[in-house]
């Protein structure tokens, strides 16, 4: 048996929020279904944000409704505040990621409030879930953005990330996602931070979200894997980035990430041939965007074997 590593596709959310292409609702659903056929069991399918800010997510309710019908899929959604979180609960989202930045300046830019206010809203969202009898039906995760540095503030203290994570655990987060929003992380930094994070709780799982802005995305995945992290976000074709942080481009490419993890002897449950086929379709859908990643060009190595 090989250790299972979960890859969560975030292209439909993180990938589209910086995209110049506006794909239709029908294309989004086609994308979700084909990625599920390739073996994905969790996808971040949309975000509940004001359409005036990010009109590409104006169909959020419709996307969630359709994604919820897919057997064995956990469609997750990202929310920036309590209002978005309440909308996600009303939409019957199965998993909600509430984003808070470790950088005070980025939090103000991204969600228009300070970190303390974001934590209070997260607490209110957990209470609302409990009051609405959704405790066992909806998972609520905390996503800590700019955990390794910020293109607005610059340095982010490791202690600040640990303090926010500790508070999220105390409030009742089901999972905590640590994000390198602007691609500042290096492998030693990743290793050191996750060593300390994992000591905070033996019950709350930690995930990682890396950007390849400076070419260190996959090496950072390796460092997190070595510390026991088993959940990674990735975006097909390396699409995406944060629209409220200068220079925050370039998620790690899902296909490259899955290939590396499988080549290292882990099991992702992903059919890489089907994923490469979807990646080729994506290049036809995202006509105004440049897609990244290497596997779609090079293909699988002759000596490569899937671990499932």
Domains belonging to the chain, first-starting first, are: 6-294 (3.20.20.70)
Residue owning tokens 């104006």 = 58
Decide if pLDDT at 172 tops 70: yes
- pLDDT at residue 307, rounded to an integer: 76
Catalytic pick from 36, 150, 242, 257? Answer: 242
Count of CB atoms within 10 A of residue 287's CB? 9
At 248, the pLDDT band (50, 70, 90 cuts) reads: very low
Mean pLDDT of 145-150: 96
pLDDT computed for residue 241 by the predictor: 64
For every residue of 217-269, DSSP letters joined together read HHHHHHHHHHTT--EEEEBGGG--B-TTSTT-B-BPBHHHHHHHHHHTT-B--
**pLDDT tens digit string along 51-66?**
988 999 999 999 999 9
Contacts of 307 (CB under 8 A, 6+ apart): 2, 262, 265, 266, 267, 268
Query: What's the token pair of residue 22?
Result: 């506006």
- 242 labelled catalytic: yes
Q: Which residue has the higher pLDDT, 307 or 221?
A: 221
Least confidently predicted of 6-10, 210-214, 277-281: 210-214
HEC profile for 95-144? EEEEEEECCHHHHHHHHCCCHHHHHHHHHHHHHHHHHCCCCCCCEEEEEE
For residue 6, which phi and psi values (nearest 5 degrees)?
-95, 130
């Amino acid at each position: 048996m090989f250790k299972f590593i979960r890859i969560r596709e975030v292209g439909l959310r993180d990938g589209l929020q910086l995209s110049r292409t506006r794909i239709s609702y029908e294309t989004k659903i086609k994308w979700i279904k084909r990625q599920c056929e390739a073996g994905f069991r969790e996808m971040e399918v949309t975000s509940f944000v004001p359409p005036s800010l990010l009109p590409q997510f104006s169909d959020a309710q419709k996307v969630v409704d359709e994604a919820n019908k897919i057997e064995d899929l956990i469609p997750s959604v990202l929310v920036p505040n309590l209002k978005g979180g309440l909308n996600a609960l009303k939409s019957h989202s199965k998993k909600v990621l509430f984003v808070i930045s470790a950088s005070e300046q980025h939090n103000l830019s991204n969600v228009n409030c300070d970190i303390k206010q974001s934590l209070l809203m997260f607490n209110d969202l957990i209470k609302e879930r409990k009051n609405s009898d959704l405790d066992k039906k909806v998972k609520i995760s905390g996503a800590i953005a700019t955990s390794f540095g910020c293109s607005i503030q610059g340095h982010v203290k490791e202690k600040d990330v640990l303090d926010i994570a500790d508070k999220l655990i105390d409030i009742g987060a089901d999972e905590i996602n640590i994000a390198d929003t602007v691609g500042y992380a290096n492998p030693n930094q990743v290793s050191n931070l996750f060593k300390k994070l994992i000591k905070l709780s033996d019950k709350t799982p930690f995930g990682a979200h890396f950007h390849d802005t400076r070419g260190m995305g996959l090496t950072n995945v390796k460092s997190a894997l070595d510390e026991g992290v088993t959940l990674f976000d990735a975006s097909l074709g390396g699409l995406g980035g944060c629209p409220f942080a200068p220079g925050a481009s370039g998620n790690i490419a899902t296909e490259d990430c899955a290939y590396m993890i499988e080549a290292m002897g882990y099991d992702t449950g992903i059919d890489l041939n089907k994923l490469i086929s979807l990646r080729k379709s994506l290049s036809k859908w995202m006509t105004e965007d440049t897609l990244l990643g290497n596997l779609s060009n090079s293909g699988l190595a002759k000596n490569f074997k899937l671990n499932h």
